């Protein structure tokens, strides 16, 4: 039987910004250039993100460290993976005493099993003796919504943090949810396409925290590859060459 010819009109569908709508096709049934569209959105997010909010987060973190406070990074799902990575960078590059509950699977799952998911982070912070000199940094796509029962564990953790006077920073998406309402410094990743909110928010969490740990106000140690280039790297290589233990001349 004859094949039905492809519909050529799909490529005319666009979103409000004039971009081809997600899932639209080109004539002949070929997909749109999703790669170009996605990377255009990345550029738009980077252009629209609030620089002032990032600077406020830099200052909040600097103040926490200067007071001798600790930093607790909270995230769920993909943001939990980001939290673990961020803790590594804040400790190694910025000299923070930093932690995240999702790095200890045994304790976290015990708290979830015995106490419930909603209070797991709050009880972990309580067990860590969170206090007014400390800070927390929330990484989240929506920031928590009690009415919709979304990320209630983050809401409970924020309520506890505020009750003990801890400083609250955040990198979140959408409108920031509960987190944006209570945070002392909150970076909101702009929504440029409702269908890629999660992808861009979690990606820009990484962009922003890498900006933070690279910021001269916070960074205390060089990154490995950067330390091997430029004048510092040259000095290090010369010192190594002069060291008889290095095998150099």
Q: For the residues 212-234, what does the mean pLDDT come to?
A: 85
Average pLDDT over residues 194-211: 97
Looking at residue 232, its pLDDT comes to 55
By three-state DSSP, how is residue 122 classified?
helix
| Per-residue confidence band for 18, with pLDDT thresholds at 50, 70 and 90 | low
Positive or negative: CA dihedral 143, 147, 153, 158: positive
Give me the pLDDT at residue 229, please. Answer: 80
**Confidence at 30, pLDDT banded by 50, 70, 90:** very low
The encoded tokens of residue 1 equal 């039987």
Residue 243 has pLDDT above 70, yes or no: no
71-128 pLDDT, tens digit each: 999 999 999 999 999 999 999 999 999 999 999 999 999 999 999 999 999 999 999 9
Q: What is the pLDDT of residue 3?
A: 46
- Retrieve residue 225's tokens: 């590859």
Task: State the pLDDT at residue 5.
Answer: 45
Q: Look up the CATH number of domain 51-214.
A: 3.40.50.10490
Is residue 125 within 8 A of residue 100, CB to CB? The reply is no
How far apart (Å, rounded) are the C-alpha atoms in residues 84 and 32? 36
Each domain of the chain, given as residue ranges in start order, spans 51-214
């Amino acid at each position: 039987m004859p094949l039905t010819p492809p519909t050529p009109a799909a490529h005319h569908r666009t979103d409000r910004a004039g971009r081809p709508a997600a899932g639209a096709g080109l004539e002949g049934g070929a997909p749109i250039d999703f790669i170009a569209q996605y990377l255009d959105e990345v550029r738009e997010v980077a252009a629209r993100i609030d620089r002032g909010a990032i600077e406020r987060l830099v200052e909040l973190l600097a103040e926490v460290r200067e007071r001798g406070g600790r930093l607790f990074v909270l995230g769920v799902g993909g943001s939990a993976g980001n939290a673990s990575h961020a803790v590594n960078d804040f400790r190694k590059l910025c000299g923070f005493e930093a932690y995240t509950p999702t790095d200890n699977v045994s304790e976290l799952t015990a708290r979830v099993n015995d106490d419930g998911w909603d209070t797991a982070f709050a009880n972990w912070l309580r067990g860590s003796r969170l206090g007014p000199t400390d800070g927390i940094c929330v990484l989240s796509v929506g920031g928590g919504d009690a009415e919709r029962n979304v990320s209630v564990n983050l809401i409970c953790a924020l309520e506890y943090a505020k009750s003990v006077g801890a400083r609250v920073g955040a990198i979140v998406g959408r409108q920031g949810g509960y987190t944006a309402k209570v945070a002392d410094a909150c970076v909101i990743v702009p929504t440029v396409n409702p269908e890629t909110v999660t992808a861009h928010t979690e990606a820009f969490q990484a962009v922003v925290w890498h900006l933070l740990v690279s910021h001269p106000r916070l960074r205390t140690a060089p990154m490995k590859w950067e330390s091997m280039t430029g004048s510092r790297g040259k000095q290090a290589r010369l010192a190594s060459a002069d060291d008889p233990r290095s095998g150099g001349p």
